[in-house]
Amino acid sequence: MALETNSGTSSARRSRSGSPDLVASNAGTALPYATRSALHLKGLVPSGVEDFSAQEQRALEQLNMKSTSLEKYIFLSWLRTTNINLFYRLVLHNLREIAPVIYTPTVGQACQEYSHIYPFLAPPNAVDGLYIPITEVDNIGEIIQNYKESIAEGDEPEITVITDGSRILGLGDLGMNGMGIPVGKLQLYVAAAGLNPDRCLPIVLDFGTDTQRYLDDPLYLGIRQHRPEDSEFYTAADRVIEALHAAFPSMFIQFEDFSTDHAFGLLERWRNKALCFNDDIQGTGCVILGGFISAVEQAGIPARDQRILFVGAGSAGVGVAKQLVDYFVIEHGIPEEEAKAMFWFVDSRGMVTANRGDRLAEHKVYFARHDNGDAQCKTLEDAVEYVKPTALIGLSTIHKAFSESILARMNDFNQTARPIIFPLSNPETKAECSFEEAMRCTDNRVLFASGTAFPDYTVPETGEVKVPGQGNNMYVFPAIGLGAVLCKPERITDTMVFAVAKALANSLTEDERARGELYPRIERIREVSADLAAALITQAVREGLAQDAQWVARVAQDAGESAVAGAHPDGRFAPGLASEVSKYMWTPAENYEQLRASLPHYHHHPVVASAASAAGKL
Ligand SMILES: NC(=O)C1=CN([C@@H]2O[C@H](COP(=O)(O)OP(=O)(O)OC[C@H]3O[C@@H](n4cnc5c(N)ncnc54)[C@H](O)[C@@H]3O)[C@@H](O)[C@H]2O)C=CC1
Ligand SMILES: CC(=O)C(=O)O
Ligand SMILES: [Mg+2]
Q: How far is CA 296 from CA 84, 304, 347, 447, 516, in A?
A: 41, 10, 24, 9, 11
Query: pLDDT category, 451, cuts 50, 70, 90?
Result: very high
Which residue's CA lies nearest to atom 4 of ligand 2? Answer: 169
Ligand 1 centroid to 426 CA: how many Å? 9
Which residue's CA lies nearest to atom 3 of ligand 2? Answer: 280
Q: Is the CB of 486 under 6 A from ligand 1?
A: no
- Spatial distance between the Cα atoms of 398 and 170, rounded to a whole number of angstroms: 8
Out of 395, 470, 472, 476, mutate this one to test ligand 1's pocket (max ligand atoms within 8 Å of CB): namely 395
Query: pLDDT category, 616, cuts 50, 70, 90?
Result: very low
pLDDT (tens digit, 9 = 90+) per residue, 299-343?
999 999 999 999 999 999 999 999 999 999 999 999 999 999 999
Q: Are 363 and 260 in contact (CB under 8 A)?
A: yes
- Cα 154 to the chain's mean position, in Å? 25
The atom number, within ligand 1, closest to the CA of 474 reads 3
The atom number, within ligand 1, closest to the CA of 397 reads 39
Which residue's CA lies nearest to atom 10 of ligand 1? Answer: 395
Nearest bound ligand to the CA of residue 173? 1
Q: Is the CB of 167 under 6 A from ligand 1?
A: yes
Q: What is the DSSP code string of 12-45?
A: PPS--TT-HHHHHHHHGGG--HHHHHHTT-TTSS
Nearest bound ligand to the CA of residue 397? 1
Q: Is the CB of 295 under 6 A from ligand 1?
A: no
What residues pair up with 470 in beta bridges, in sequence order?
450
Among 221-230, 271-280, 588-597, which is the least confidently predicted range?
Answer: 588-597
Ligand 1 centroid to 592 CA: how many Å? 46
Please tell me the predicted confidence (pLDDT) of residue 121.
Answer: 67
Q: How far is CA 15 from CA 21, 22, 26, 192, in A?
A: 11, 8, 12, 20
The atom number, within ligand 1, closest to the CA of 349 reads 35
Model confidence at 9: pLDDT above 70: no
Whole-model pTM?
0.93
What does the radius of gyration of the chain's CA atoms come to, in whole angstroms? 25
Give residue ranges with CB within 6 A of ligand 2: 104, 169, 257, 279-280, 426, 451, 472-473
- Amino acid 29 reads T
Which residue's CA lies nearest to atom 16 of ligand 1? Answer: 314
Ligand 2 centroid to 232 CA: how many Å? 26
Q: Is the CB of 19 under 6 A from ligand 1?
A: no
Model confidence at 118: pLDDT above 90: yes
- Amino acid 187 reads Q
Please tell me the predicted confidence (pLDDT) of residue 613.
Answer: 52
Nearest bound ligand to the CA of residue 316? 1
The closest of 567, 575, 424 to 499, measured between CA atoms, is 567
H runs (alpha helix) in 161-283: 180-193, 212-215, 230-247, 260-270
What residues pair up with 163 in beta bridges, in sequence order?
204
| Percent of the chain clearing pLDDT 70 (strictly above) | 91
More confident residue, 577 or 564: 577
Ligand 2 centroid to 484 CA: how many Å? 20
What is the average per-residue pLDDT within 398-407?
Answer: 98
The overall average pLDDT reported for the chain is: 91
Model confidence at 544: pLDDT above 60: yes
Please give the DSSP secondary-structure letter assigned to residue 369. B
What is the average per-residue pLDDT within 122-129?
Answer: 74
The CA angle 408-411-417, to the nearest 5 degrees, is: 170
Helix (H) or strand (E) holding 278, with range, is: strand 276-278
Q: Is the CB of 260 under 6 A from ligand 1?
A: yes
Ligand 1 centroid to 501 CA: how many Å? 21
Top mean pLDDT of 26-40, 139-153, 160-174, 563-577 is at 160-174
Other beta carbons within 10 angstroms of residue 2's beta carbon come to 7
Please give the DSSP secondary-structure letter assigned to residue 353. B
Q: Are 106 and 452 in contact (CB under 8 A)?
A: no
pLDDT (tens digit, 9 = 90+) per residue, 487-540?
999 999 999 999 999 999 999 999 999 998 999 999 999 999 999 999 999 999
The atom number, within ligand 1, closest to the CA of 287 reads 3
pLDDT (tens digit, 9 = 90+) per residue, 15-64?
344 455 667 767 889 988 888 888 888 898 899 999 999 999 999 999 99
The closest of 382, 406, 405 to 393, measured between CA atoms, is 406
Ligand 3 centroid to 414 CA: how many Å? 31
Query: pLDDT category, 120, cuts 50, 70, 90?
Result: confident
Nearest bound ligand to the CA of residue 162? 3
Q: Is the CB of 377 under 6 A from ligand 1?
A: no
Please tell me the predicted confidence (pLDDT) of residue 212.
Answer: 98
Secondary structure percentages of the chain, helix, strand, coil, to 5: 50, 10, 40
Ligand 2 centroid to 426 CA: how many Å? 6
Please tell me the predicted confidence (pLDDT) of residue 38.
Answer: 82
Model confidence at 564: pLDDT above 80: no
The atom number, within ligand 2, closest to the CA of 257 reads 6
Is the N-terminal amide bond of 123 cis, ω within 30° of 0? Answer: no
Residues known to be catalytic = 103, 185
* Per-position b or e across 458-492, b if 16+ CB within 10 A of its CB: eeeeeeeebbbbbbbbbbbbbbbbbbbbbbbbebb
H runs (alpha helix) in 248-402: 260-270, 284-299, 315-332, 336-340, 362-365, 380-387
Q: Is the CB of 398 under 6 A from ligand 1?
A: yes
Query: pLDDT category, 127, cuts 50, 70, 90?
Result: confident
